[in-house]
Each structure stands twice: as structure tokens, then as C-alpha cells.
Amino acid sequence: AQTVTQSQPEMSVQEAETVTLSCTYDTSESNYYLFWYKQPPSRQMILVIRQEAYKQQNATENRFSVNFQKAAKSFSLKISDSQLGDTAMYFCAFMKHNTGNQFYFGTGTSLTVIP
């Protein structure tokens, strides 16, 4: 079974500062994908960034980047230049390769950006 752990239930960051959200996972799979989803108070989940496990290079999307450590099974999200609109729940998710494409989600981290 796959498990995803987010050990930080709540975090806060000053506007324009940088924050890192942690995620670890457990799997026996060798091929898989990792995702960060954002869920603002309106509740619609939005994809932030994704990483293919076979790629060594860390994914980057504008102010969002990941630190993927495959051996350590760690997948942290770094948000640079935090903006008020970044306030949301952030979910780390795991997807096995070629098997149904269902997500395994962590319990989430509630991020508040303070003006």
C-alpha cells in the first residue's frame, strides 16, 4: 500500500518570504508520479506541480519548486515570494505508474500567508 505523510498540519509565512512544505511517502514501486495540489477555501483542487520519479531534475513552475529525494522518499514544495493568494490547503499526492491513476493523498498542510 502507498502512504503519504504531511507532518505539518499548519504553517504560516510572511508575504514575499519563502516557505517549504514537507511530504514523505512510502512505496515499493519504482515508477510513480508525485504531485502537489492546492485547495483554496472555495474547495476546488488545483494542480500546482508534478514530478516524475524517473526524472532526477526537480520540477519548477514559476514560484513553485520541489526538492525530490527519491532515496529518502521525500518530496517537499518550496514557495518563493509568497503571495496572499497562496493561502490554501496543500496536498501532496502519489500516483502509481500505469495502474488506474488514482491518487493517494496526504492529510494536507494549511498554509496562511500573512500580509
64 binds other proteins (CB under 8 A): no
Residue from 10, 14, 46, 54 touching other proteins (CB under 8 A): that is 46
Cβ atoms of 83 and 64 closer than 8 Å? no
**Residue 26's closest CA among 106, 89, 100, 91?**
106
Per DSSP bridges, beta strands 3-5 and 24-26 are antiparallel
84 binds other proteins (CB under 8 A): no
50 binds other proteins (CB under 8 A): yes
Which part of the chain contacts other proteins (CB under 8 A), choosing from 14-22, 54-62, 72-80, 101-109? 101-109
